[in-house]
Amino acid sequence: MTSDSIHDSAYSWLRLLVTVLIATVANVGIWAVVVVMPAIEAEFGADRASASLPYTLTMIGFALGNLVIGRIVDRFSVTIALIGAALGIALSFYLTTLAPSILMISAAHLLVGICTGVGFGPLIADISHWFLRRRGIAVALVASGNYLSGAIWPTLLADILAESGWRQVYVLLAVITLATVIPLSLLLRRRVPDEAHGIAQTASDLRAKSAGMSPRTLTWLLGIAGIGCCVAMSMPQVHIVAYCVGLGYGPAVGAEMLSLMLLGGVVSRLVSGLAADKLGGLRILLIGSTLQCLALFFYLPYDGMISLYVISAMFGLAQGGIVPSYALVVREYLPAREAGARVGFVVMLTIVGMALGGWMSGWIYDLTGSYQWAFLNGILFNGLNLAIVLLLLLRSRPRRPEMATA
């Protein structure tokens, strides 16, 4: 197989479809914990902070999993990584059902998060090898699997939770994960030819040289930018429900605004992916980050219900394409053979940014009694992200999308 024959071929699109299906199932762990949290809280008589600990550890594990499993994909293959992760997800779900306390449930969710990490950064890195002209939309579709999982699974699991309890939900998810992810992963056994990796290495070296930075420096700069953008991103996403409750609109209104953000995020990822195929990942990252910053500014003067619905939809449309754009920039500027590890590292730091931003916003609210300063904090961190992206753009020569490679 030649390096040209793997790009944008019929097999590439079949691989993309299979990868999106896997992502929709593999990401269920980070949404299932949200669904079962009230039931766990009630069963163990826990306070809200204790009941939130499983989610916190799931996200910590998710961040680590993107990095660790990304390295496994580079060294072995995405199929081996998926089979191992599916077994780990099923085992951790089952262990959770046996846990006698919130603390043990939380520990099991750390493993849930680590194994669930296979469904984001590692899959994005893998699919990026199989597309040239349509790499942007391919990456965007795989990244949307995370949001699709969040849109589909909570609704499907709600009735089972009400009828049979949260343990039955987790047992069912363990079976579904094994029954779907492992067979589908076997369809991804084909490897990228060494020739394609060699050509990709040459191209990425040239782009990195044009930016005047080593791969290590570029990776760290992108990671720091990712923290900045996601501290900003987390403010509305994590606190919009609490914000609406504080304004007297109630949690249901806040939940609807969050749904609008996620829906807008899916649209944003698809549009950004299509645009990235023309403009390149770095320019799309700049556009998305700028629009996110503008949307955050609108939260400052407007707090009416209708205004917040509109602004939340705007925010979702602005931010959805940002994280996939980081993956595209990694693939455009950094070594192809290390795509899994480097995409995993940058994605890990974006998740760290989400966790840090969610905590910081609550801390600022406790200090000031208002979310106004929390929004301003998000804007400042977004400014850090913008500064790094502008630096990279100014130091890089203009690129043509057709110059991209595997």
> What does the angle CA 14 – CA 112 – CA 98 come to, to the nearest 5 degrees?
130
What pLDDT, on a 0 to 100 scale, did the predictor assign at position 49? 60
Whether 16 is in a domain gets the answer yes
Are both 142 and 277 inside the same structural domain?
no
Q: Which of 188, 215, 233 is the last residue of a domain?
A: 188
Are both 325 and 203 inside the same structural domain?
yes
Amino acid letter, 134 = R
Whether 227 is in a domain gets the answer yes
Of 294 and 67, the structure prediction assigns the larger pLDDT to 294
pLDDT band at 132 (very low <50, low <70, confident <90, very high): confident
Are both 206 and 260 inside the same structural domain?
yes
What pLDDT, on a 0 to 100 scale, did the predictor assign at position 136? 85
Are both 254 and 159 inside the same structural domain?
no
Q: Is the pLDDT of residue 238 over 90?
A: no
What pLDDT, on a 0 to 100 scale, did the predictor assign at position 267? 87
- The mean per-residue pLDDT over the stretch 202-211 comes to 50
Q: Report the interhelical angle of 78-98 vs 10-26 (nearest 10°).
A: 10
Q: Which of 144, 162, 188 is the last residue of a domain?
A: 188
pLDDT above 70 as % of the chain: 90
SS3 content of the chain, % helix, strand, coil (to 5): 85, 0, 15
Are the beta carbons of 361 and 374 closer than 8 angstroms? yes
Are both 46 and 124 inside the same structural domain?
yes
Are both 298 and 345 inside the same structural domain?
yes
Whether 353 is in a domain gets the answer yes
pLDDT above 90 as % of the chain: 30
Cα–Cα dist 69/78, whole Å: 9
What pLDDT, on a 0 to 100 scale, did the predictor assign at position 194? 59
Please report, for the domain that includes residue 232, its CATH number.
Answer: 1.20.1250.20
What pLDDT, on a 0 to 100 scale, did the predictor assign at position 209? 52
Nearest to 138, CA basis, from 236, 248, 304, 6: 6
Are the beta carbons of 105 and 128 closer than 8 angstroms? no
Q: Determine whether 250 is exposed, middle or buried from the number of CB atoms within 10 Å of its CB (0-12, 13-18, 19+).
A: exposed
Are both 183 and 214 inside the same structural domain?
no
Q: Count CA atoms within 13 Å of residue 82 on its CB side.
A: 31
Count of domains observed in the chain = 2
Whether 406 is in a domain gets the answer no
Q: Give the pLDDT confidence of 267-284 residue by residue, as tens digits.
A: 888 888 888 888 888 898
What pLDDT, on a 0 to 100 scale, did the predictor assign at position 176? 94
Whether 363 is in a domain gets the answer yes
Are both 8 and 130 inside the same structural domain?
yes
- The mean per-residue pLDDT over the stretch 249-254 comes to 79
Q: What is the DSSP letter of 187?
A: G
Cα–Cα dist 87/80, whole Å: 11
Whether 405 is in a domain gets the answer no
Nearest to 29, CA basis, from 145, 166, 121, 153: 153
Cα–Cα dist 304/110, whole Å: 39
Which range marks the domain in which residue 291 is found? Answer: 194-396
Q: Is the pLDDT of residue 210 over 70?
A: no
Cα–Cα dist 152/28, whole Å: 9
Q: Give the pLDDT confidence of 344-364 residue by residue, as tens digits.
A: 888 889 888 887 887 788 788
- Average pLDDT of the chain, as a whole number: 83
Q: Which of 188, 218, 243 is the last residue of a domain?
A: 188
Most confident of 14-23, 71-80, 120-129, 135-144: 14-23
Whether 346 is in a domain gets the answer yes
Are both 70 and 183 inside the same structural domain?
yes
Whether 402 is in a domain gets the answer no
> What does the angle CA 159 – CA 161 – CA 163 come to, to the nearest 5 degrees?
70
Are both 228 and 178 inside the same structural domain?
no
Are both 167 and 250 inside the same structural domain?
no
161 alpha-carbon distance from chain centroid: 26
Are both 157 and 208 inside the same structural domain?
no
- The mean per-residue pLDDT over the stretch 35-55 comes to 74
